[in-house]
Amino acid sequence: MHKALADPLRIRLLEAMWEMPRSARELADFIGLPVDRLYYHLGRLEQAGLIEIAEYRPLARGKVERVYAPAVTEPPADGATPEEQAAFLGSMLDATRADINAAYQARQVGRRREVDLHRGALRLTDEALAELRGHIEELASRFGNHDAPGVWTRVVVAVVDLHDRPFDNAPSHGGPDEPC
């Protein structure tokens, strides 16, 4: 499942289906890509059990099109290798970057799009970290109703221990007594 979501396009497709079930043609129009480019990605999502065919819609001349819907509301966090989780997170960040760029471009032409970015580093005890995680889970469950009215909004919260970063032991540059 995490491998299937290790692509920002697939994340965007799944999110579009969370809004409403859509055909490949409707998804192509929504995403802004040719429909033939989506079939591979829809197949990967379907194989992973993330989407399913919700209905077959009749078209002209006796043809039908598949209408896809999400089979799950969010991928489970358990069961993935660290590499799969990292690939999923990278794809989520790529999709988020595309969303932020699109929102800023829409705002430049006068459309209403909300973008709030907050970044910071906190010193947390184990107890404070547990409390922060509890608050995040509480907010996610409080506002995470997929059937509620409103505008779909991407929220990404990352809690990462910075202590063991590979470059922590590297010599620092630019300190008061060191040349840059």
Would you state the pLDDT for residue 74? Answer: 58
What's the average model confidence in pLDDT over 141-165? Answer: 76
- Given a cut of 90, whether residue 135 has pLDDT beyond it is yes
Would you state the pLDDT for residue 72? Answer: 67
pLDDT digits (tens, 9 = 90+) for 55-99: 999 988 889 999 999 886 555 556 677 787 777 778 778 878 888
Would you state the pLDDT for residue 176? Answer: 41
71 CB-contact burial (10 Å; exposed 0-12 / middle 13-18 / buried 19+)? middle
pLDDT digits (tens, 9 = 90+) for 33-56: 899 999 999 999 998 888 899 999
Rounded Cα distance, 31 and 19, in Å: 13
The count of other CB atoms within 10 Å of the CB of residue 19 is: 12
DSSP secondary structure, 82-146, as one string: HHHHHHHHHHHHHHHHHHHHHHHHHHHTT---------------HHHHHHHHHHHHHHHHHH--T
- Given a cut of 80, whether residue 152 has pLDDT beyond it is no
Closest CA to 90 of 41, 39, 158, 40: 158
Look at the pTM and tell me if it is higher than 0.75.
Answer: no
- Given a cut of 80, whether residue 8 has pLDDT beyond it is yes
